[in-house]
Amino acid sequence: MSDMIKIAVDAMGGDGSPKKVIDGIVLNHQSNVNVFYKIFGDQKKITPLIDGKINKKFYEILHTDNVVKSTDSPLEGAKRGKDTSMWLAIESVKNKEADIVVSAGNTGALLVISKLNLKMIENIDKPALSALWPNKKSMSVVLDLGANIECSSKNLLDFSIMGASLYTSLYPNDKPNVALLNIGSEELKGNETIKETYQILNDKKPDNYDFAGYIEGNHLMDGEVNVIVSDGFTGNVALKTAEGTANFITSELKKAMTGSIIGKISSLLNISNLKKFKKRLDPRLYNGAIFIGLDSPVVKSHGGTDYIGFSNSLDVCNRIVKGNLIEKIKQNI
């Protein structure tokens, strides 16, 4: 067990838990036999869901009745005490009993409890929430997605280093190309903070990534840039807009293809192309936001995802640990 990756799993967070979480673990185990799952939550509910589906040498259940609710404010979630499934899962990473933690629970509470338990990486002032987005060529890392509403140029510089390190951990063969999300691609555009960050990054010439200047919202999916940096306010608006647009396109397409007889016939003719298109936009493939800047990585699975999405967030955990994310950030800072 010593060479296995140990993932601490909050089994009680998000819609349809613990069933979706345990089903996600069962699915994930089929392709990741080097992972040991430390599962925190209600043993009475969890045992019947996992019993006989995975060999007991690959998991343990650590029982607790107490749970952070989705309706809790971040502070209420933290005040529920040190015996909630979320707190115990994070604490196991702090105590070096697990390599990484994942939860589909309350985002605000997860960030607060993580900050209370885990130290910041030296010389980083603020942690950031990052996620993977599809682009025309493969994937981009985008950060910050809402952990910090206001950011200084030092914060944005840290995000660039952390984002590039995350990208390298997930895609070891590619060199990251970093850009700042802005309202134009010309040097004169944007606020003072972003202009200042541009100057620092432009002069820096780092070894571990290339700086590509500014990127506008309409070019996020082009694939020319694979690390996109922004403050949490702008990043969150961009994320929600992109998610909403993707949902709108798939639902409108569905309506068009199932409405009239002609629509039904054309959808039959195009079925394989439509399936490919739908798969590209399937949010479950990109599930797993990563809270970085702390000395252990914390992964946030979308609360509304299903077991396939949760399995994908476990996959992200696996790749982050294998890719030595924290070491990479420390070297580059």
Mean pLDDT to the nearest integer, 177-194: 85
- How many CB atoms lie under 10 A from the CB of residue 187? 13
Mean pLDDT to the nearest integer, 215-235: 92
Return mean pLDDT, the chain. 88
pLDDT, tens digit, for every residue of 84-97?
Answer: 999 999 999 999 99
Say whether pLDDT at 270 is over 80.
Answer: no
The pLDDT of residue 278: 61
pLDDT, tens digit, for every residue of 27-85?
Answer: 999 999 999 999 999 999 999 999 999 999 999 999 999 999 999 999 999 999 899 99
Q: Is the dihedral of CA 287, 291, 297, 301 positive or negative?
A: negative
Cα 86 from Cα 207, distance rounded (Å): 38
Say whether pLDDT at 275 is over 80.
Answer: no
The pLDDT of residue 88: 97
DSSP structural state of residue 121: P
Mean pLDDT to the nearest integer, 299-326: 91
Provide the pLDDT confidence category of residue 19 given band limits of 50, 70 and 90: very high
Structural domains for the chain: 1-123+293-333 (3.40.718.10), 125-291 (3.40.718.10)
Mean pLDDT to the nearest integer, 182-191: 79
Say whether pLDDT at 178 is over 70.
Answer: yes
The pLDDT of residue 16: 92
The pLDDT of residue 147: 87
Mean pLDDT to the nearest integer, 182-211: 85
The pLDDT of residue 272: 66
**Three-state secondary structure along 2-43?**
CCCEEEEEECCCCCCCCHHHHHHHHHHHHHCCCEEEEEEECH
Asked if 80 and 4 touch (Cβ cutoff 8 Å), the reply is no
State what percent of residues in the chain have pLDDT above 70: 90
DSSP structural state of residue 222: S
Mean pLDDT to the nearest integer, 270-297: 73
Distance of CA 188 to the CA centre of its chain: 32
Say whether pLDDT at 238 is over 80.
Answer: yes
The pLDDT of residue 8: 98
Mean pLDDT to the nearest integer, 103-131: 93
Say whether pLDDT at 196 is over 60.
Answer: yes
The pLDDT of residue 279: 63
The pLDDT of residue 120: 93
Cα 50 from Cα 47, distance rounded (Å): 5
The pLDDT of residue 245: 80
Say whether pLDDT at 268 is over 70.
Answer: no
